[in-house]
Structure 1
Amino acid sequence: MNFSIKEVAEKFNLSPYTLRYYEREGLIPSVQRNNNGRRVYTDTDLGWLQIVCCMRATGMSISYIKNYVELCINGRETLEEKRKIMLEQKEIIKEEIKKYTELLELVDMKLDYYDEKVSKDELKEMINKKRINKYLT
């Protein structure tokens, strides 16, 4: 099945400009054009775009995604390199989860304070204990 740029943009909640940018950067390889010169996206293109959107959602940079796409195009002989990229991204995501878990604990402590379950001194002690002062500056 074929899709227009407008249909793909709506499906992925992206702007047509972003789709054209991803294509220019080589993140969606070999998007075809019809007789009028308009982009025609296939199910394969949508598969690439799904991978790109997933990686962007994890915070991966365009250059890393481009490298990953190029490795995918080269096939199984690049399996170890692709695996390394995914492992690196996994560690980045784990660090982000840790950071947000700590921030959530801070929010919970503040809520306890506002709900008068803890005193101001207890709150300060809890914050110092958690060593989350780095997020308070």
Structure 2
Amino acid sequence: MRISEISEKHHISQDTLRYYERIGLLPPVNRKRGGIRDYTKEDERWVEFVTCMRGAGLSIEALIEYVSLCQQGDKTSAERKALLVGQRDVLISKIEELKKTLARLEKKIDSYERVLLKKERSMGGFGEEVQNA
């Protein structure tokens, strides 16, 4: 599969794919004659994994380390698991913080809605549906 197809399919720019490969975030991609990248299903799985993890907020450094460990083979499976567990814990903390932020936003929005409703009622002439809301 060409880089343009991977880029379009996974909503990631070709420049980003090249960058990810250059810094070791993606394993090296096979190339056809003339240096044209030829993504395999395995390469595509790596793109899916990396974009998912980046979307969840995992650092580039952690993912580079993970890819490097994977390339070293089965002897690094314990290290890889430990790295993923650590990243999961970081993500859980972020989710908890986001939940707190969401709750605070909801409270703030509710307070604005109460103020606006009160203001509308004080202005009069909005009919029964506003007063019963």
TM-score w.r.t. the length of structure 2 is: 0.78
Quick one: percent identity of the two aligned structures?
37
Return the alpha-carbon distance in structure 2 between the equivalents of residues 58 and 112 of structure 1. Answer: 28
The list of structure 1 runs, each at least 4 consecutive aligned residues, that deviate by more than 2 angstroms after superposition, is 114-117
Q: Which runs of 5+ in 1 are unaligned?
A: 118-137
Checking the alignment, whether the CA contact within 8 Å between 1:58 and 1:89 is kept in structure 2 is no
Aligned to 2:82: 84
Aligned-pair CA distance for 1:33: 1.4
Q: Which runs of 5+ in 2 are unaligned?
A: 116-133
Return the alpha-carbon distance in structure 2 between the equivalents of residues 62 and 110 of structure 1. Answer: 34
Show CA shifts across 1:30-75 (max 9, x none). 3111112211111111111112112211222222111101111222
Aligned-residue CA RMSD in angstroms?
A: 1.6
Aligned to 2:15: 17
User: Quick check: which has more Rg, 1 or 2?
Assistant: 2
Aligned with 1:56 (options 54, 57, 62):
54
Aligned to 1:111: 109
Return the alpha-carbon distance in structure 2 between the equivalents of residues 115 and 29 of structure 1. Answer: 51
Larger helix percent? 2
